[in-house]
Structure 1
Amino acid sequence: MFLAKNLRYFRNQLQMTQSELAEKLGLQRTMISAYEDGRSEPKLSSLSIMSSLFNISIDELLYRDIQEQGRKITGQKDIKVLTIAVDQEDNERITMVGQKASAGYLNGFSDPEYVESLPQFHLPNLSRHTTYRAFELSGDSMLPLVPGTIIIGSYVEQLSDIKSGRTYVLVTVTEGVVYKRVFNYLEENGKLFLVSDNEQYKPYEIKGEDVLEIWEAKAFISTDFPNPKDKSRPASLEDISQMILDLKSEIMRLKS
């Protein structure tokens, strides 16, 4: 394993101190020293952040001597390896991440044995050329979709592929597994704005480097039927845009 050597190499290439890297990973400086000396190994969430920060796959970070052998691919962002479940005929199945499994999924999403242990199913009329995953909603921030609704998402490989105004399930280091309407400001400030369709919840932002997986919502399953007398409605894109402007104004006010 070349993690210790590669970590020291990339940190020096970026001219970062151990303290600066530790801050990005949310760790103590002594942990970085332990990683580089081979006395300890980082958790998967920290490896994922390193992978994004150094623009390298976790596999290369762990098992390839970058200083001696160089990169497998140059000039391109490495493609993340997605763990999937298949049936006996080698057809992909949809893995179900329930409310209670969300916390465990954050640590086990790239572990084949863990993914295999989660419930799996097939759905008709979905493309066979796309990987899907199902996530159960736990709150009311995305009304009219109620808690217990199952969101079927298709895998999005790159952060740059996120289209502003659409809804996504994001697996994140800081917020866990969340389902929100996302606005992409990565080129502007390296962040994403996450907006709830329920206007009672304020938008907030997260760093792109904190996103571990992205799933674009394609369908949902619910046992709750719409009530014609229910006056509640999701926020419109105009409402959401105004909320973002208000949030930016508030941030600027606090900074000044």
Structure 2
Amino acid sequence: MQLHQNIKFLRKRKGVTQETMAAAVGISRSKLAGYELNVNPPLDTLVQLADYLGVTVDVLLRESLSTMPAYALSSLLETDQYLKGKSLRILATTVDAQGRELIEVVSQKAKASYLAGFSDPVFIEELPRFSMPFLADDKKHRVFQVDGDSMLPIPDGAWVVCSYVDDWTQLKDGEKYVVVTEQDGVTLKLVYRLKDRGEGLLLCSTNPIYPPFEVRMEEIRELWRYRLLIQ
């Protein structure tokens, strides 16, 4: 059980003292100190602690939060905040024998199955994968193959390295993202927030023969920010 370590870890991540958190939850500082050490709180207090820390009781009890990669931790802690990825889940990923993150490769052929399998660890494990040591290790990276000529000068068949977006509020208007939606599958586009017409995105091609189109946030399953091109 990870309860005691998680309470302390999440309190520090939140940037509050034991006194502040104890007052907010309605317990004494000494009781909170005990819960962070080795004392199990009663059920009603456990629920209050989970609510204050912004996680479910199950996560508080079971997950080893302090050992999670940064991208996975952010995804997990933000699953109940719609604009930060309510429909996202803990990202299925792969690691090498030393526990280092690998970069999975999604080819044009694999795109047909990706929408159904992106959350399936078995499917992700079957994708080709490699490592790029110079990429930041606090983000999850994946490679997607471009399909078509809608994003010229990026040509059909090129490969783009992207980083996983776990906070939708940090989208940069006019930048390239791989967007995974239920209707359109996996597509590379320029992205703009539709702040004046509810929460959604405008997806644009660099090739003018392809008209822009809108997607609602609830249709989005994954967002990956373009980082570099491999040809």
Scaled to the shorter chain, the TM-score interval is 0.5 to 0.7
| Distance in 1 between residues matched to 2:122 and 2:114, nearest whole Å | 12
Match of 2:118 in 1: 109
| Distance in 2 between residues matched to 1:99 and 1:126, nearest whole Å | 23
Match of 1:214 in 2: 223
The answer to whether the 8 Å contact 1:168/1:181 transfers is yes
Q: What CA deviation, in whole Å up to 9, does each residue of 1:38-81 have, x standing for no partner? A: xxxxxxxxxxxxxxxxxx99x99xxxxxxxxxxx9899526730
Question: In the alignment, does 2:89 pair up with 1:80?
Answer: yes
Q: List alignment gaps of at least 5 residues for structure 1.
A: 1-55, 61-71, 223-256
Q: Alpha-carbon deviation of 1:101?
A: 0.4
Give the AA of the match of 1:117.
E
What SS is found at the alignment partner of 1:92?
coil
The answer to whether the 8 Å contact 1:133/1:154 transfers is yes
Closer, same or farther in 2 for the Cα pair 1:187/1:84, shift >3 Å? Answer: farther
Q: List alignment gaps of at least 5 residues for structure 2.
A: 1-54, 60-75
Superposed, which structure 2 residues align to 1:1-256 within 5 Å?
77=81, 80-186=89-195, 188-222=197-231
| Distance in 1 between residues matched to 2:196 and 2:77, nearest whole Å | 24
When the two chains are superposed, the root-mean-square deviation of aligned CA atoms in Å is: 2.6
Closer, same or farther in 2 for the Cα pair 1:85/1:75, shift >3 Å? Answer: closer
Count of residues paired in the alignment: 155
| TM-score normalised by the chain length of structure 1 | 0.56
| Distance in 1 between residues matched to 2:141 and 2:152, nearest whole Å | 23
Give the AA of the match of 1:206.
V
Q: Alpha-carbon deviation of 1:158?
A: 2.7
Give the AA of the match of 1:194.
L
| Distance in 2 between residues matched to 1:187 and 1:159, nearest whole Å | 16
Match of 2:44 in 1: none
Runs of 4+ in 1 over 4 A off after TM superposition: 72-76
What SS is found at the alignment partner of 2:102?
strand
Give the AA of the match of 1:113.
V
Closer, same or farther in 2 for the Cα pair 1:219/1:75, shift >3 Å? Answer: closer
The answer to whether the 8 Å contact 2:79/2:89 transfers is no
Q: What CA deviation, in whole Å up to 9, does each residue of 1:156-186 have, x standing for no partner? A: 0132221111100011111100000000115
The answer to whether the 8 Å contact 1:80/1:157 transfers is no
